[in-house]
């Protein structure tokens, strides 16, 4: 139990499908993150939400659309993906404390996405 | 985040101490050194972090040089379950109320040999 739960664990979708990845954190944190991990590549930061506002969008294609309805939940909506989008998508959370040191990131175990 | 340099892979015998080095010569004064590890098919797991002083917790010890240009993660009694990719990251300690994602590199693949 990591305190950050991601569903589903595995997802196979066609290029014309629309699906959503869900992340829920039970740690009382107020910042949430989406990372992408492709085979043999380092983790890539996709989106950052702090206090439910998006604060970072690292040039991610519009076919990925994040949503953060509250500080405990984070979604990644997917549509018209490409096969090269197949990867492990990881959610993380942390506590942001203004001028105090931020807490470390806590990760979920990811959703393994395969686009066919 | 400052750039970090780690060996691609390391071996360690089970029961021995595993010492994982990391160079971060361009680290700035407001950046912590974080260590995470990732076991196959799982999300990265936080291990430890520090700013200037050496740190120890139930998982590991972190030794940071006085000039902060390098650090060593020590797993005191490595077990087979410690086989993983270990990431050393220099990341902002203070974000002025915002949130900063950490930049992960390729890490060190630590293999514990029976």
CB-based contact, A27 to chain B, within 8 Å: no
- Nearest chain A residue to B49, by CA: A104
Spacing of C-alpha B65 from chain mean position: 14
Residue among A45, A100, A112 minimizing CB distance to B103:
A45
Residue among B43, B100, B104 minimizing CB distance to A102:
B100
Region of poorest pLDDT, from A19-23, A94-98, A112-116, B69-73:
A94-98
Distance from CA of B13 to the nearest CA of A (A): 26
Q: Are A29 and A71 in contact (CB under 8 A)?
A: yes
Q: Which pLDDT does position B101 carry in this prediction?
A: 77
Task: Check CB contact under 8 Å for B100 and A105.
Answer: no
Task: Check CB contact under 8 Å for B34 and A104.
Answer: yes
Chain A residues whose CB is inside 8 A of the B109 CB are none
Chosen from B35, B90, B101 to mutate, greatest number of chain A CBs within 10 A: B101
Q: Which pLDDT does position B29 carry in this prediction?
A: 85
Task: Check CB contact under 8 Å for A105 and B95.
Answer: no
Q: Are B37 and B84 in contact (CB under 8 A)?
A: yes
Instruction: Give the number of other Cβ atoms within 10 Å of residue B49's Cβ.
Output: 19
CA distance B107 to B87: 4
CB-based contact, A101 to chain B, within 8 Å: yes
**Per-residue pLDDT band at A101 (split at 50, 70, 90):** low
Dump pLDDT digits (tens) for B26-52. Answer: 998 888 899 999 998 899 999 999 999
3-state secondary structure string across B24-80: CCCCCCCEEEEEEEECCCCCCEEEEEECCCCEECCCCEEEECCCCCEEEEEECCCCH
Dump pLDDT digits (tens) for A2-40. Answer: 699 999 999 999 988 899 999 999 999 989 999 999 987
């Amino acid at each position: 139990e990591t305190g950050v739960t991601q569903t589903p664990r595995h997802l196979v979708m066609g290029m014309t499908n629309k699906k959503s990845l869900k992340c829920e954190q039970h740690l009382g944190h107020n910042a949430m993150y989406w990372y992408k991990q492709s085979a043999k590549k380092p983790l890539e930061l996709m989106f950052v939400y702090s206090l439910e506002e998006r604060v970072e969008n690292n040039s991610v294609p519009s076919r990925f659309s994040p949503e953060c309805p509250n500080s405990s939940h984070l979604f990644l909506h997917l549509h018209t993906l490409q096969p090269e989008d197949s990867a492990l998508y990881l959610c993380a959370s942390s506590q942001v404390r203004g001028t105090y040191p931020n807490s470390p990131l806590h990760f979920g175990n990811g959703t393994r996405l395969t686009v066919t | 985040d400052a750039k970090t340099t780690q060996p691609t892979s390391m071996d360690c015998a089970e029961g021995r101490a595993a010492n994982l080095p990391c160079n971060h010569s361009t680290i700035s004064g407001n950046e912590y050194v974080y260590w995470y590890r990732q076991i196959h098919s799982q999300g990265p797991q936080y291990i430890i972090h520090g700013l200037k002083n050496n740190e120890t917790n139930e998982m590991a010890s972190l030794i940071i040089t006085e000039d902060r240009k390098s650090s060593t993660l020590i797993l005191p009694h490595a077990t087979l379950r410690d086989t993983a990719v270990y990431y050393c990251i220099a990341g902002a300690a203070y974000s002025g109320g915002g949130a900063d994602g950490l930049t992960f590199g390729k890490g060190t693949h630590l293999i514990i040999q029976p």
